[in-house]
Every structure is written in structure tokens, then in C-alpha cells.
């Protein structure tokens, strides 16, 4: 039996726009963990819990490579990536509550 996996690279931001780039195989779970403060460290300390960007990858290797690439970018380039898709910096996970 073939298992289907999904991999995501995502950016969460604080209200003051502190950014964190991450990778996960379960975007809904991971964003819920950020919102609930379950992930110790940077995102909890700086309240990075608003999903402002994400992209899907079919293969884990490509998702990890993309995460590493984005993490190396200057802040301005990350902001450009976010604003290309989400100019208002809306919390993209808000829509999920409407779907459930």
C-alpha cells in the first residue's frame, strides 16, 4: 500500500512581523502547535504564530532544500516572497476554521 505524504515550507510571523521559516509534513498540526505555544524556542519567544506563506512539495528532499534556501535569504527577500502572495499579511490559517 502506497502512503501519500505532503511536505510544506512555511513562514509564520508575529504581529510585529518577526519571521520564522519552517518545514513540516502536517501544516495544520504544526500551525496549531505554533498558535498554542507548544514549540519551545524562537517562535514561542517571539510569538510567531500567524501563517503568512506556505508552499507544497511532493518530496521531502525538495522541501528541506527549499527551507534551507529561504532561511539563508535576507529579510527583504523573504518579505518580497510573502507579499507576492499575501500582500496584507493575512493569517492564512484563519480560513481553515471556516472549512471545518
Q: What is the pLDDT of residue 20?
A: 97
CATH of the domain at 37: 3.40.1440.10
Q: What is the pLDDT of residue 96?
A: 80
Q: Is residue 94 part of a domain?
A: yes
Q: Is residue 1 part of a domain?
A: no
Q: What is the pLDDT of residue 99?
A: 61
Q: Which residue range is the domain that position 61 belongs to?
A: 7-99
Q: Where are the beta strands (DSSP E) in 28-88?
A: 50-57
Q: Is residue 61 part of a domain?
A: yes
Q: Is residue 65 part of a domain?
A: yes
Q: Is residue 2 part of a domain?
A: no
Do 57 and 8 touch, CB atoms closer than 8 A?
A: yes
Q: Is residue 11 part of a domain?
A: yes
- Give how many domains the chain has, as a whole number: 1
pLDDT tens string, the chain, 100 residues long: the values are 455 678 999 999 999 999 999 999 999 999 999 999 998 899 999 999 999 999 999 999 999 999 999 999 999 999 999 999 999 999 999 988 666 5
Amino acid at each position: 500500500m502506497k502512503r501519500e505524504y505532503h511536505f510544506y515550507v512555511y513562514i509564520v510571523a508575529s504581529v510585529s512581523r518577526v519571521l520564522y521559516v519552517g518545514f513540516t509534513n502536517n501544516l495544520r498540526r504544526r500551525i496549531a502547535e505554533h498558535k498554542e505555544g507548544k514549540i519551545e524556542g524562537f517562535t514561542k519567544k517571539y510569538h510567531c504564530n500567524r501563517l503568512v506563506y506556505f508552499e507544497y512539495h511532493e518530496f521531502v528532499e525538495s522541501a528541506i532544500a527549499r527551507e534551507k534556501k529561504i532561511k539563508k535569504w535576507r529579510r527583504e527577500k523573504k518579505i518580497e516572497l510573502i507579499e507576492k502572495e499575501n500582500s496584507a499579511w493575512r493569517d492564512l490559517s484563519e480560513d481553515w476554521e471556516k472549512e471545518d
